[in-house]
Amino acid sequence: MSKAEEFERQEKAGVPAGTAAMQVSSPLMGIPPFKKFTRDWITGVGGDVKYHNKLSGYFDKIDEFLGDKVDWQISRLHRPDFAGLAQFISEKGYVPTTVTAHLKALRQAFLAAQQQGFVLVSPITPRDYISNPSPNLAKRMTIPQIEYLANATKVIDWRTTIIFGFYFAMDLIEAANQTWDNIDFVARTVSWVSHTRDGKPVQMTIPMHPLAENHLMCELLRLPITIQPSTSKMASIRIPRGEQVSG
């Protein structure tokens, strides 16, 4: 075998070219190719068949990007070998979150290889993940949208609930269970007990917006005179369907 052929064989095996045969350790020679390692890794991770198939699909795209390099020992693949991978996947029509899912799977496989001593460091880092330029975040509703929403319901309970949610940042349960005890028309505030995520009570007091105050005053004036405001729940207030509330 010529030296050139020997050097080529050593390079493919992940051994520095020119290393004497007697100096090559068996663990180094036993490092698996990228494709074999990743497929073995997929079968060993948790999850069901559907999840394994999803991972296999990710690595099929990565294999397509790497080309012949999939048969290289995984230790031979470094960061420059994956330059342009995200763009390659993106150009196939995948959204940023799915592109990132490919990169995360690749990083997890390399971290497993690192743990087994096949590589020194993963060539993929969290900085390589693609941020979504248009995440599905809730958008703040505008006042005209709230007006349309409130006027779309003919049941006064829901209209009041919508107004509580918009002007006082109440969630649905809080808004639907407000009582007249909590309404102070003199101080022009609404007070109630909310709760944190861990269940701790928090006293809330919010000034009344003029439009919210007008709506609540109209409801109060529509109540029969025999009903005491201090014992009546907002959610129990009903007026005939089709009757409009001013404000």
pLDDT at 236 over 50: no
Q: Are residues 103 and 36 in the same domain?
A: yes
Could you give the percent of the chain with pLDDT greater than 70? 74
pLDDT tens digits, 4-45: 666 555 555 444 445 444 343 344 568 999 999 999 999 988
Residue indicated by tokens 């109060």: 220
* Number of domains making up the chain: 2
Most trustworthy range by pLDDT among 80-94, 129-143, 170-184, 230-244: 80-94
- The per-residue pLDDT of the chain, averaged, comes to 78
Quick one: 166 and 116 in the same domain?
Answer: no
Q: Is 90 in the same domain as 170?
A: no
Does residue 83 surpass a pLDDT of 90? Answer: yes
pLDDT tens readout for residues 119-172: 999 999 999 988 766 556 667 777 788 777 777 877 777 888 888 888 888 888
Which of 62, 105, 97 lies closest to 81, judged by CA?
A: 62
The verdict on 104 and 149 lying in the same domain is: no
Residue 124 is predicted with a pLDDT of 94
Q: Which residue has the higher pLDDT, 232 or 107?
A: 107
Residue 79: inside a domain: yes
Closest listed residue to residue 74, CA positions, set 119, 139, 20? 119
Domain that holds residue 159: 143-236
pLDDT computed for residue 5 by the predictor = 61
Which of residues 128, 163, 188 is at a domain's end? 128
Statement to judge: residues 12 and 106 lie in one domain: yes
Tokens of 62: 């990565």
CB 86 within 8 A of CB 103: yes
Determine contact, residues 74/30, Cβ cutoff 8 Å: no
Asked if residue 133 belongs to a domain, the reply is no
